[in-house]
Copies of this chain bind each other. A is one copy, B any other.
């Protein structure tokens, strides 16, 4: 698998996750026509991501959003009931993406060393594909209300658990004594997050997702094996 191949397979899952995000927020959405809803809401999402990643969600005004999304201020409130709710819809969307994609992806390998490699690669690719979304979720987590913050933490721990489980079985027996899969998984997560948090750096150095994944895999391999 490389990034180009990954992209071809992802579109459907993205669309499914979007429909799911809409579904779980039906309560506060006043728009009834399916097509109009999905067209406009995804434009609203995109505009929000763009503005928030530029100056922060808090600093983005609803007027900024209304002009970037080409909808009036009043119309926006037919798609969500408050600015905070918008934040949480977007968070739910990207949280669902990473967990579904990652879980599906590792099922395709049986050997645990291959599983680890695939999990890392998939994580790099999905966060590359939706970089602004993940950047947004990471940076705005502390501005969310308590339940949404809890979901963010659970999301982090969920993906970390995927990694620590794989490492547990990959390393067992092979390395003497003191290995700690949970700590190792933490560090792996940190390096994976760097990929979507510091895009300016990797872009400047002309490092693409395939290259980053390759390097990361070999770095981790030589450390835990």
Contacts and interface: CB of A to CB of B under 8 A. Distances in A.
Interface string A163-202: 0000000000000000010111011011101100010111
Q: Using C-beta atoms within 8 Å of the partner chain, give the interface range for chain A.
A: 35 or more
B59 A143 contact: yes
A55 interface: yes
Q: Label chain A's interface by main secondary structure.
A: helix
Copies of the protein in its oligomer? 2
A190 B193 CA distance: 8
Nearest to A218: B178
Interface string A208-220: 0000000110011
A161 to B, nearest CB: 12
A223 interface: yes
A139 to B, nearest CB: 7
A187 B205 contact: no
Given A187-B191, A194-B186, A223-B222, A142 B201 contact: no
Nearest to A135: B142
A170 to B, nearest CB: 15
The 9 closest A-B pairs by CB, nearest first: A190-B194, A223-B223, A58-B58, A222-B223, A190-B191, A187-B191, A58-B59, A190-B190, A56-B143
12 contacts: A53-B142, A54-B142, A55-B142, A56-B58, A56-B142, A56-B143, A58-B58, A139-B139, A156-B201, A186-B202, A187-B191, A189-B194
